[in-house]
Structure formats: structure tokens, C-alpha cells
Amino acid sequence: MHRILLAAVLCLAALPAASEEVVLGLSSDTVSINTNFDGSEILVFGAIKRDAPFPAEPPMHVIVTVSGPSEPVTVRRKEKKFGIWVNTDAVEIDSAPSFYAVSTSTLLGFALSDTEDVRHRVSIPRAIRSVGAPANIVNSETFTQALIRIKSRSNLYQLNEGTVSVDEQTLFRTSIALPAALTEGDYKTRIFLTRGGDVVSQYETSIYVRKVGMERWLFTLSREQSFLYGLLSLAIAIFAGWGASAVFSLLRR
């Protein structure tokens, strides 16, 4: 009897587990920045493909992240001394995304455990990498928190909890607002399916943010022909100053 039960358990263990994976769609995978660009909105939608009927418990949750190009950032602390605000301490953050948005179908703490957050770097603080700080700075984490506050005020860092709609545990959709102050580059988009705080599946793609028209020409000129770009900037400044002077002279007459 025990041998029969053991064989049955082994057979069940050998069966492939019911898997879930993301089938994703984007309203657009390209964002064009021109002189009139004042922001954009990307619609992220998709479905969950299953090999078997989904379990009733625990419920499935969806997390969507969009991350812009990362770069080192220096965060400085200012203090008022003798009536003047001066820079005192500074911390070099090794890598911080220029833009980062997290959208979830529920509260992030319910959808993702701290262990999985450390593994996949989903939350905004985890997406920022700061290896170390000068020995004279004790509370270096406050500099990371200050960076998050500054970026959040400009809508460059976003935590949008409960904004991912999930229908019948199968279809999901959300929209990500992209502000006007975007850095050109590839924006990594990740979708996580979670159950009980664990990631059961993930999908990754990219949104391409590119300058076009006059913006592209000026950007390329500044990188490839810096001397010519400087002369052009000087000529524009001189012309603008002369034009303003001419206008004021006409108004005085």
C-alpha cells in the first residue's frame, strides 16, 4: 500500500506544473520628442496565458515597471550658515534611472514580498543603486530619499498603486504618463505576475524614446560638432540680444 502511495506521489511530482505567462501589448513602442513635446501616455495591456485553469487562491496580481536610462547622480545637502545656504555633504549615487514608474493592481506590499523586491529591484528605492558613501556621512540613505522626493515632484518617479485593471484574472491594462522632461534612450518595460508575494512569471520589452526634427539635429550637432554648435549658440544669443534692443528702441520712439 505504501509503495502504491509513493508511486502516485512520484507520478504527480513528474507532471508539469500549471504555468502562467504574459502576452503583452503596447499602444506604441516609440516616443518621439520634438520642439512641441509636452509629455505622452503609453497604454500597456495584455493577457495571461495558462496551461491549466487558474487557482482560486491566492489571487494573482500584476506589476508593471517602466525604467529610463540610468546614470550616476550626485546629491548634495545644503545648510544655512551665517544666513547663506551652502553645500555641505555630498553623496555619489552609483546608478539612478532618469525615469521610473511602478504601476500595480493592488498595494505593492501585498503584491510583492521584500525578498522578491530585492531579487528583481521593483520598488523605486530598490531601483536606485548606491554602493557606499563617504565615511563622514552617517545617514547616507537620506540622500537617496531626497533624490526620490525631487524626482517624484517632477513626475519622473511614480508609484501608481491600484492602477492596473485585471479582468477575470486574465486580461490586464494600465497607462503610464511620460512627462515632458524625458531623457533619450531605451525605456525598459517589465511586467510581473505574482501570487502570494512571489513572482511566478515576468516579461520584458523596451519603449524607444528618440528626438526628432530640430531637436534631433541640435542634439547630434552638440555631440558631433561641438565647436560649430557653440558658434551657432553664440550667434543665436547675439541675434536675440540685438532683436530685443531693436524692439525696445522702437517702443521708446
Q: Does 242 lie in the same domain as 125?
A: no
Average pLDDT of the residues in 241-247: 64
**One domain for residues 224 and 203:** no
Cβ atoms of 205 and 212 within 8 Å: the answer is: no
Show the domain range for 245: 213-253
**Helix/strand/coil for 34:** coil
The pLDDT of residue 135 is: 54
> What predicted TM-score, i.e. pTM, was given to this entire model?
0.71
Domain assignment of residue 4, yes or no? no
Q: What is the mean pLDDT of the chain?
A: 75
Examine the domain organization and report whether 220 and 96 are in the same domain. no
User: Is residue 129 assigned to a domain?
Assistant: yes
- Calpha distance 128→83 (Å, rounded): 34
Regarding whether 220 and 132 lie in a shared domain, the answer is no
- Sequence-ordered strand ranges (E) for the chain: 20-26, 30-33, 40-50, 60-67, 70-81, 84-97, 100-104, 157-160, 165-167, 171-178, 185-195, 198-211
Domain presence at residue 98: yes
What pLDDT, on a 0 to 100 scale, did the predictor assign at position 168? 78
Residues with Cβ < 8 Å from 172, sequence gap 6 or more?
45, 46, 47, 48, 62, 105, 164, 165, 166
Q: Are both 218 and 207 inside the same structural domain? A: no
Secondary structure of 50-96 in the HEC alphabet? ECCCCCCCCCEEEEEEEECCEEEEEEEEEEEECCEEEEEEEEEEEEE
| Between 180 and 132, the higher pLDDT residue | 180
Same-domain check for residues 131 and 177: yes
Q: pLDDT band for 9, please (50, 70, 90 cuts).
A: very low
The CA distance from 144 to 147, in Å, is 5
Confidence label for 176 from pLDDT (cuts 50, 70 and 90): confident
pLDDT in tens, 113-138: 999 999 999 999 999 887 665 555 66
Please tell me the total count of domains within the chain.
2
Tell me which of 230 and 181 has the higher pLDDT: 181
Q: Is the pLDDT of residue 8 over 60?
A: no
Phi, psi of 133 (to 5 degrees): -135, 160
Q: Which three cell numbers stand for residue 212?
A: 526628432
Q: Does any domain span residue 9? A: no
Residues 30 and 154 in one domain: yes
The answer to whether residue 2 sits within a structural domain is: no
Question: At residue 20, does pLDDT exceed 80?
Answer: no
Domain identity same for 114 and 80: yes
Check whether residue 207 and residue 217 sit in a common domain: no
Ordered DSSP codes for 218-234? HHHHHHH-HHHHHHHHH
Note the pLDDT of residue 167: 86
Residue 252 within any structural domain of the chain:
yes
Q: What is the CATH number of the domain that holds 171?
A: 2.60.40.3880
